[in-house]
Structure formats: structure tokens, C-alpha cells
């Protein structure tokens, strides 16, 4: 499997009238020089991304290598770490898993929970804020992100610097929220959580559209001793109860990429630093790789499998 190179344009830096490489300069930089050759014809080529940073910062950037088996500062779960060669072999299989899970979701979509099932009773007790609708919405959104990722990386063999992480982040957050809603054993807790989630949705809608907080929002999420829906709480809960150790960090890492945080883009990407003459700056070239992109995807695939199984059990298996 060969990924096509995607070269991003350079940026103008703030250094005393000096520029970072332009688009034409970027084309002269072969991103393959920063990429490990894989088995046979397999090579990964991530986006080449150029930033100008203070030279001392470039020299002191933490060395983050997902292929080493020691704690190098990030909380990395060893079960999701692979060498570049292993990651190249794993991506096609991960793509097949995502396609199979997508087919399961397509099959579940038209079905209502079985009469008398725990999920059916949840819906009756929580109407109109149905637990099944919220949980399946999270499954659909998470699955859609993973399907887009599979089409980009496996189907089209394109590995951008940050896009894979952004897609993975959307999947991790949606799926964690679905698990957070559906997992508690007590019906009262499942209903309380879905009301908090719907209430947050209505509050977000009011802010986005310039509306006043509606009576529906107040009814969906009455005062619950200060409790509201927070994505960090949902991901942390899922990490502890799925259980998927390291899930929170994987989501935080992907969020760092999605929000263009340098701790993630500079700290996680493959990089080479070149000093800019007569300045105190260095140009840092960043690239992605098969192993780096795969690391947060694996817990997302595990999580959607867990959540689909839980949804089916709550709605169709545990019948009276």
C-alpha cells in the first residue's frame, strides 16, 4: 500500500524580514526524506508543513516517537503502538473493520428497540428525549467520521498531516458520548445523562442562533446540582469503564491537532529543523506517518465495536 504525498504550502514567519519556505520552496523538499521506508514498495508520505519557531524552542522540542517502548513523556498505550512497517500492514485491516462496522450500523438504523427491552423502557420513561435516539445519533456521527477516514487513508491512500487526527477526534468524542449515555446500569442515570446531553444541545442551538434559552432546554436539563454535559467527562468515563486505558490522551492529542495546538503538531509529528541564517529562528518541517496516524484510530475502532454491541444488547438482546 502506497500513500501519495501531499505537500502543504509554507508560511511567512515573523523573523526580521526573512520568510519561511514558499510553495515553490516546499516542492523542492522531498517529504520522503523524513519518512521511514516500509516493506517492499510501501512508503508513507505525510503532508510537509513548515513553521518558523525560535531556534531554542526547536532544539528543545520533546522527542515523541510512537515506535519506542519506553515512556517518553506522552501517556502511550503499548497495545496501540506499532512500528511503521507494522502500521502499514494494519491499515488495510483497520479499513475492513470500519467497513464491516458501517454495515452493522446501516442494518441497525431502521430498527426500533425491541418491545420490553431496556432501551425501549428507557425511551418510554425519557420521552421525548429518547435514549435510543441520542445513542444512535452518537453511533452514526462516530461511524461517519471513521468511514470518511477509511476512504481518505485506505481508499484514496492519502495521509495528510492533520486531517486524520481531526476525523479521529470527532469519532472518539461522539462514540464516548454514546457510551457515557448508554453504559450506566441504572435507568435513572441513563435518563439523567440523556437529558443533560439534550439540554446542552438546546443551549448550543440558542447560542449559535442568537436565541434565548428556551423552555424546552430548561425542561430537558433541569437543575441537576450543577451537573452538565461535558465532553471531557464523557471521554474520561469511557476510558475508565469501557475500559480503554489511554483513550483520554488519544482524544486530547487529536483535539490538539484539530485546534492547531503546537504541543500536538510539533510534539507528535515527524520533524526536521533547519536554522534560518542570520536569525534566531529555525524552519521545522513536519510530516505524518502510518504509525502516528494509526495510534488514535485503533481505540476509536475498539470503541465503536463496544458501543454497537452495547446498543444491540440494550435494545434487542436483553428482552423479557
Tens of pLDDT, residues 128-137: 899 999 999 9
| Dihedral sign, Cα of residue 234, residue 202, residue 125, residue 119 | negative
pLDDT tens digits for 293-304?
Answer: 999 999 999 999
> Above 80 in pLDDT, residue 45?
no
- Poorest-pLDDT segment among 4-18, 188-202, 214-228, 279-293: 4-18
> Above 90 in pLDDT, residue 59?
no
pLDDT for the residue numbered 280: 80
pLDDT tens digits for 63-98?
Answer: 444 443 333 334 566 677 888 899 999 999 999 999
pLDDT tens digits for 146-199?
Answer: 999 999 999 999 999 999 999 999 999 999 999 999 999 999 999 999 999 998
The domain ranges of the chain are 23-317
Q: Give the predicted TM-score (pTM) of the model.
A: 0.78
Amino acid at each position: 500500500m502506497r500513500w501519495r504525498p501531499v505537500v502543504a504550502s509554507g508560511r511567512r514567519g515573523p523573523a526580521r524580514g526573512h520568510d519561511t519556505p514558499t510553495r515553490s520552496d516546499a516542492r523542492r523538499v522531498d517529504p520522503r526524506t523524513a519518512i521511514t521506508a516500509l516493506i517492499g514498495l510501501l512508503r508513507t508520505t505525510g503532508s510537509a508543513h513548515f513553521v518558523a519557531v525560535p531556534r531554542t524552542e526547536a532544539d528543545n522540542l520533546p522527542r515523541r516517537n510512537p515506535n519506542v517502548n519506553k515512556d517518553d513523556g506522552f501517556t502511550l498505550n503499548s497495545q496501540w503502538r506499532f512500528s511503521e512497517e507494522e502500521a502499514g500492514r494494519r491499515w488495510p485491516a483497520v479499513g475492513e473493520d470500519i467497513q464491516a462496522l458501517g454495515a452493522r450500523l446501516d442494518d441497525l438504523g431502521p430498527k426500533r428497540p425491541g418491545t420490553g427491552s431496556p432501551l425501549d423502557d428507557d425511551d418510554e420513561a425519557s420521552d421525548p428525549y429518547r435514549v435510543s435516539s441520542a445513542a444512535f445519533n452518537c453511533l452514526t456521527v462516530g461511524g461517519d467520521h471513521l468511514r470518511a477516514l477509511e476512504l481518505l487513508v485506505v481508499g484514496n491512500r492519502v495521509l495528510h498531516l492533520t486531517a486524520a487526527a481531526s476525523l479521529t477526534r470527532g469519532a472518539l468524542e461522539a462514540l464516548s458520548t454514546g457510551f457515557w449515555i448508554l453504559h450506566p446500569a441504572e435507568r435513572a442515570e441513563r435518563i439523567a445523562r440523556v437529558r443533560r446531553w439534550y439540554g446542552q444541545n438546546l443551549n448550543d442551538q440558542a447560542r449559535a442562533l442568537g436565541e434565548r434559552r428556551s423552555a424546552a432546554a430548561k425542561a430537558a436539563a433541569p437543575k441537576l446540582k450543577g451537573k452538565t454535559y461535558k465532553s471531557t467527562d464523557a471521554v474520561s468515563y469511557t476510558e475508565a469503564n469501557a475500559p480503554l486505558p489511554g483513550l483520554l490522551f488519544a482524544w486530547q492529542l487529536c483535539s490538539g491537532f484539530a485546534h492547531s495546538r503546537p504541543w500536538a503538531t510539533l510534539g507528535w509529528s515527524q520533524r526536521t529543523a533547519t536554522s534560518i541564517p542570520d536569525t534566531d529562528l529555525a524552519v521545522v518541517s513536519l510530516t505524518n506517518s502510518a504509525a502516528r496516524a494509526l495510534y488514535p484510530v485503533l481505540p476509536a475502532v475498539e470503541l465503536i465495536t463496544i458501543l454497537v454491541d452495547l446498543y444491540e444488547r440494550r435494545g434487542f438482546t436483553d428482552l423479557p
